[in-house]
A and B are shown apart, each in its own frame.
Chain A
Amino acid sequence: MHDNRYYKILVGLAAAGLIIGTWGVVNVLLFGKRATALGSYVPWGLWVAVYLFFLGLTAGAFLITILTYVFRVRIFAPIGPLSAFTVLVAITCEVIIISFDLGHFSRVWRFLINPGWTSMIFWMVVFTNAMIIIYALECYFLLRESLVQGAQAEGTPARWLYRLLSFGKTDFTEADRQADHRRVRLLSIISLPVGLIFYGINGAIFAILLNRPIWNGALTPLLFIVTALLSGGALITFLTYIFKVDDALVHYLGHVIRFLLVVFLFLEALQFFVGYRTGMPINRASLDIIAFGPYWWVFWVFHILLGSALPLYLLSFRHESAQAVAAACFLIIITFIAVRLNFVIPDQAVYKLEGLEATFYHWRLRTDQYFPNLNEWLVSLWVFSLGLLAFMLGSKYLPIVSAGKGEAEHVEA
């Protein structure tokens, strides 16, 4: 991809996003949470939704590496390095955006000395770090052979980087290759329970909360796992097409994405069905906000029409075309922020006690007045741009696509 003009356009967009977004970042650093539109009744807003969005994107690598190295599905092997690198970028963005959301980021060291063992957020931090370590190592071992070879070859772009990451290693033997693939397989096996717990815990953060009708329930962690696999899988499929790895692979991934999309829509329909059939006003109020509230178009237009119906049509009736599959995946990815916003905000937008809406007026004590302000959008833009820039530079200067060639043989071995 770095050979064509799209590379320059995307790097330019990322640089522009970073520059524009800096205004929001500076405001938040100077004025803290006062620079946001958050309140005490809607304390989690756009940044938490963006956090969940990135969380989903990380699941792409999880899906691919598990299929490839645990279940030995050879066809996905060429995109192993690409997906492992993608997860590293996405998880970094995830950590950055949620750090902005903290009132006192300077106190994160408290996680180490005052761990709240019963808190899902504490375990989220533990498993986020575990995922970072696993995928950093996995990515490294998948790329190491190409790094060592690139460090020795004349004309390698950013050869110093290859030398640096080779840690002085100059030759790569068959024994090294076998050892690295054993390590990758071991890491993938470890990542299976760790990843499932990681995505499940992120769902449990919401699921365990009393009187949060949309969040509270055993379905939420499962929904998180499925949504993560769907959005992350869609991202990997789209990148596989963009980097022209293998059109047949795009075709196969399209089937996986279609299956995940159907499962996700089924679970979402269940959530609506159960919520409405309980007949409890608090449940109906939250669901009404999603489907018929002031931002109904986010649900119906972005999520249902553009993010579900259209991709489902493309994946079902145009699945022979890699371009159509990639387009469907692209739609799923960009509309997924709507899914996350509709998960995070409506449940908080319902007053939990009758009469709260009419007492002690302050705009930070109202649920219906939250809409992300400019600073929140700019910080999100900044993080997206940072991720895009890191990904584009990585795709140019690291062998994340070329290292996947021939990978299938090792899986078989």
Chain B
Amino acid sequence: MTRVLPLEDALIRMQRDLKRALAKDPREIRWGMVIDLARCIGCHACTLGCVAENKLPPGVVYRVVLEEEVGHYPMVRRRFVPRPCVHCQNPPCTKVCPVNATYKDEQGVVRVNYYRCIGCRYCLVACPYAARTSDFGERYTNDTPEMPGKLFGRRAAFAGYELRPAAEYGRRWPDRNGGSPFGNARKCHFCLHRLKVGMLPACVTSCIGRATIFGDRTDPDSLLFEALGSPRLFRLKEELGTQPAVYYLK
């Protein structure tokens, strides 16, 4: 008897898929994502969810939502294309790194070793999807005045958001001693720190249209696997041969 209920929320199913994937040998997992453009309403919740999850500073963004106009008047509509790092399986960014700071791990996730990155920004230039940003050390509170005796001075605002460590790659950032991730290349990492503890990526859980499907590409019982069989499937800039692990449904 199937355990899938007729009106089961996609998140519930993906959560179950995730649990099943984590029970596997980690070397057999291949994380992937499908974004259903017909379901995306352009609310940018995934962008903000990602920013909040990873405590991203100004000018650093992992997942933007692109807006496109399709068709000709009067048959015209707007299409929204969320663009995380597409985690190429043949990534141009890893090959150009002079110190191997960025690499594709055994589960197909393109990662950045913040301690190793020298900040040459070659990977930013090499990425055909403009999916990488450099952390220039900006702060939301850079120009916030200090107001002694007031509740929301610069320090209070700083402590309220920017002093909170991000948990990227399972560590507490920013590292005040080594400087990283300031000066580093930064990018989407499929929220590996959340996956490790059985949580779906922030962009998936914050998507109100359930447009983002995440899971193990090798699991035939997963929702992701079903979506990968859709005739609407396509990938960005497929002609470049980068083989992204992030797919789209037209």
Contact = CB atoms under 8 A, between A and B. Distances in A.
Interface string B104-132: 00000000000011111110111011101
Contact of B68 (A122, A348, A354): A354
Contact of A114 (B65, B95, B116, B242): B116
Interface in A346-369: 348, 351-356, 358-360, 362-365
A293 interface: no
Nearest to B138: A34
Contacts of A212: 125
A365 B117 contact: no
Given A210-B240, A354-B66, A43 B99 contact: no
Interface string B42-59: 001001000000000011
A33 B59 contact: no
B153 interface: no
Contacts of B183: 32-33, 103-104
Nearest to A211: B128
A151 B100 CA distance: 48
Nearest to B117: A104
A363 B119 CA distance: 19
Q: Is the interface of B mostly helix, strand, loop or mixed?
A: loop
A44 interface: yes
A5 interface: no
A40 B119 contact: no
Interface in A110-138: 110-111, 114-116, 118-122, 125
A351 B130 contact: yes
Contacts of A360: 44, 47, 61, 64-65
Interface residues on B, range: 35 or more
A209 interface: yes
A40 B116 contact: no
B128 A210 contact: yes
Contacts of A105: 118
A111 B96 contact: no
Nearest to A124: B98
A101 interface: yes
A119 B97 contact: yes
Contacts of A364: 58-59, 133-134, 136, 138
A111 B101 CA distance: 11
A205 B122 CA distance: 9
Given A44-B121, A116-B99, A125-B98, 19 more contacts: A33-B136, A40-B60, A102-B118, A102-B119, A103-B117, A104-B119, A104-B183, A107-B99, A110-B101, A116-B96, A118-B95, A210-B240, A212-B125, A352-B129, A354-B68, A355-B66, A358-B67, A362-B58, A365-B133
Interface of A: 31-34, 36, 38-41, 43-44, 101-105, 107-108, 110-111, 114-116, 118-122, 125, 205, 208-212, 348, 351-356, 358-360, 362-365
Those 5 A-B pairs whose CB atoms lie nearest each other, nearest first: A103-B119, A103-B183, A355-B66, A364-B59, A43-B121
